[in-house]
Amino acid sequence: MELWVVQAAVLFLLVGCEVARGQAPSAAQSPAGDLTQVSIENLMNVEVTSVSKKEQKLSQVAAAVYVITQEDIRHSGATNIPDLLRMVPGLDVAQINANTWAISSRGFNSEFANKLLVLIDGRTVYTPLFGGANWDTFDVPLEDIDRIEVIRGPGGTIWGANAVNGVINVITKKTEDTLGGLVTTGGGTAAQEFGTVQYGGKIQQDTSYRIFAKYLNGDHFPDLNGTNGEDGWHLLHGGFREDTRLSAKDSLTTQGDLYAGSEGSTIVHTILNPPENVEVQRLTPLSGGNVLGKWNHIFSDRADMTMQIYFDRYTRSGPEVRETRNTYDFEFQNHLVWGNRQDVIWGFGYRHSADQTLGTIDEAFAPADWDGDLFSAFVQDQITVRPDRVFLSIGTKLENSYFTGFDLQPSIRVAWTPNKRHTFWASISRAARTPARRDEGVQAALAAFPGPTEVLLEGNANFEAEHVVAYELGYRAQPSPRLSLGATAFINTYTDLESIEPLPPFTNTNFNPPVMVVPMQLSNKMNGTTYGLEVYGKWKVNRVWTVSPGYSFLHMDLRLDPSSLDTVSVADGEGSNPANQAQLRSHVELFHGLSWDANGYFVGRLANQGVPSYTRVDTQLAWKVSERVTLSAVGQNLLQDHHLEFNDFLQVVNSALIKRSAYAKLTWRF
C-alpha cells in the first residue's frame, strides 16, 4: 500500500495523543446520534430496512451491509451523494467529469453501472433506457438524509432485477425530525455556489411537514489536454414531505420533488462526409419531478402492511439523445409474525414505464418511442432456529422484465450470533440483470474512417438477462465499546454477460457517397468468476478521536464462449475496477466547538483504461459557533492539482481531470 497510509496513521496518532492530553470536550459537543458513543448492545441492535424491507437488527442480518449515518455525512465534507459513497468498502466510486460518475459494487463499473440498484426512500431510480442511475439529478439535501444503507452483494430476492452486485438505499428523515428552519450556503473553487433553504413545521398535532429549495452551481473541470472541459453543472431543486398519523394504526407519507438545470460535456461527434471524429461541446438541459404516497396500516403487534404508489417524469435533452420518460409504480407488502419462530414478509408490484426519444447521428434507439410493463411478487421468511442465536432467511422474487419474461431470484441466508458482540453469517443467492433499451435497440456510431467507413454499435432483439450466483461469508462484531469491525468474503459466478460481437460489413446506400458499415452487436457470450474481500472498522481511540479504516480486494476472471469473436469485452470488464482500494478516515473533537476531519482514499490503477492509481485526501475544519450555527472549511483532492479517475471507451461523455478544490460553508438552524 502507498506511503500515505503510514504517514496519515502517524499524523493522526500524534494529533490524537496531543488532544487526549488536553481537556476533553463536554458531552454537549458529542452528538447523541454518533454510533461510536453507544454501548455494544445498542450498536448491534441498530436496525436496517433495506435487506428485508422491514426493520431488522444488524446482529440478525446475513448480508454485507454498511450504514452511512448522519454523523458520517457531517464528517465527510462531501457536497453530493457520490462523494459520500467513497467511504463504503467494496464500492468503486469514480468521477468521470464535473457532473458524471461511474459507481459500482464488486466489479463491472461503467457510466451506467447496470448491476447496481439505487433507491431513494425505497423508490427505484434505475433508468430502463441505458440501465443504471443518473447520479447528477439525485440532489437530496444532505442534511435531510437519515442514513444511506449500502448492501454489497445481490438483493434481487427483495428488490428484484438489477440488484445484482449491490443496493444503495438513500433514506431521508421523517418530518418530525426536521422541524424548524435550516439555511446552508457556501461556495468555493469547484462547487462555486450552493445553498439550501428549508422549513419544517406542524399543521396539526398529528401532521408535520417540510419544504425546501436547493441550488448548486458547479465549475467546469479541465479535459485530458488541460483545457476547459465545458462540463459545468447547474441545478435548482425543490421538494416537500408530509407525514400524517391518520389514526393509532394508520400513517400516511406524501412527498415530491421538482428540479431543473443544465450540465455541459464534451463528446466525440461522428461525421461521415468527409469521415471525421471531432470533439464537440454539448449543453444538456435537465428537468423532472416525482410524487410519492405511502400508507402503512398496523393490524396488530404481529402484522402490518404497506402500500406505495408514485409517479416520476423527467426529460434529458442530450448530450447524444433526447429522452422523456414517465414511470408509474405500485407496490404492496404485508409483514406478519407467524408463531414464535417465523417472520414473513411478502408482496407484489406493478410498474409501467414509457419513453420518447429523439436520436442523432451519434446515437439513436429503435423504436424511438417505447412503453413496457413489469410485474413482480416476492416472499421471504426469517426463521428463528434458536432464539437470539441462529436465524435462517429463505425467499425468492418472481419478476418479469420488460423484454425477457419471468425470472426467479432466490436466496438463502443464515446468521449466527454466539453472543451479543459477534455475528457470523453466510448466504447463497441468485440475481438477474435484465436488458435495458440500450441492449435491445441502440444504434450508436463509435467511429468513422476514410472510405468512408462507420463502426456502428447495435442492440440485439434477442439479448438475454445476465445472471449471478453469489456465495458470501461474513463477520461483524463490537468486541469492546470502542471498537467495531466487519469483514466479508465472496465468490460470484456470472453467466450470459454482455459481449460485443462483430457482424458482416454492409454498404449503406442512403449516403452519398455510400458508407461501408462495420456493425458490432451486443450479445451474451461472456461468462466469468469474481472473488474478493472487504474489511472495515471503527475505533474510538479516546473520547475525542475516532479512526475508521477500510480495505477491499477484487479479482475478476472473465472468459468468452468458444463461438465469440469479441476482442474487447474481457479486457474492458476486468479492467473496469481497481483490484485494491483502501481508506483511512479520522475525526477529532478539538476544543471550543472545533473539530477536524481528515479522510484518505487510495484507489488502484485501471490498466485497461490507462488510469493510474491515485490517492485522494479530503479535510474539514468545522466550528460549532453555537447550537444553531456551524462554520466549516473543506479541502478536497489535496494531494494533486488534478487526476484522472475513469476513461472507458464506451462511455458517452469524455473524461475530465478531477481537480483540487476548496469551499467554505455556513449552516444555520432556527
At 10, is the pLDDT very low, low, confident or very high (cuts 50, 70, 90)?
Answer: very low
For 260-285, what is the mean pLDDT? 94
| pLDDT score recorded for residue 44 | 66
Other CB atoms within a 10 A radius of the CB of residue 605 amount to: 15
Model confidence pLDDT, tens digit, residues 56-86: 888 889 999 999 999 999 999 999 999 999 9
Is the dihedral angle over the CA atoms 638, 644, 646, 652 positive or is it negative? positive
Stronger pLDDT, 646 or 45, i.e. the higher one:
646
- What grid cell was written down for 95? 468521477
Calculate ∠ Cα 167-168-173, nearest 5°.
140
Strands 342-358 and 322-338, by their bridges, are antiparallel
Number of domains in the chain: 1
Residue 582 exposed, middle or buried by CB count within 10 Å (0-12, 13-18, 19+): buried
| pLDDT score recorded for residue 43 | 59
**CATH number, domain with residue 535:** 2.40.170.20
At 418, is the pLDDT very low, low, confident or very high (cuts 50, 70, 90)?
Answer: very high
The answer, yes or no, to whether residue 28 has pLDDT greater than 60, is no
- The whole-angstrom separation of Cα 637 and Cα 421 is 37
Model confidence pLDDT, tens digit, residues 289-333: 999 999 999 999 999 999 999 999 999 999 999 999 999 999 999
| pLDDT score recorded for residue 35 | 45
Highest mean pLDDT among 6-15, 254-263, 399-408: 254-263
The answer, yes or no, to whether residue 207 has pLDDT greater than 90, is yes
Residue 472, CB half-sphere, CA atoms under 13 Å: how many?
A: 32
Is the dihedral angle over the CA atoms 631, 636, 640, 641 positive or is it negative? negative
| pLDDT score recorded for residue 280 | 96
| pLDDT score recorded for residue 204 | 86
- The whole-angstrom separation of Cα 341 and Cα 388 is 11
pTM of the predicted structure, to 2 decimals: 0.93
The answer, yes or no, to whether residue 11 has pLDDT greater than 70, is no
- The whole-angstrom separation of Cα 357 and Cα 367 is 9
Please tell me the least confidently modeled range out of 2-16, 221-235, 303-317, 523-537: 2-16
- The whole-angstrom separation of Cα 48 and Cα 146 is 12
Residue 160 exposed, middle or buried by CB count within 10 Å (0-12, 13-18, 19+): buried
How many percent of the chain have pLDDT more than 70? 93
Q: What is the DSSP letter of 628?
A: S
| pLDDT score recorded for residue 195 | 97
For 159-178, what is the mean pLDDT? 96
* Segments forming the whole domain that contains residue 493: 3-669
- The whole-angstrom separation of Cα 323 and Cα 303 is 42
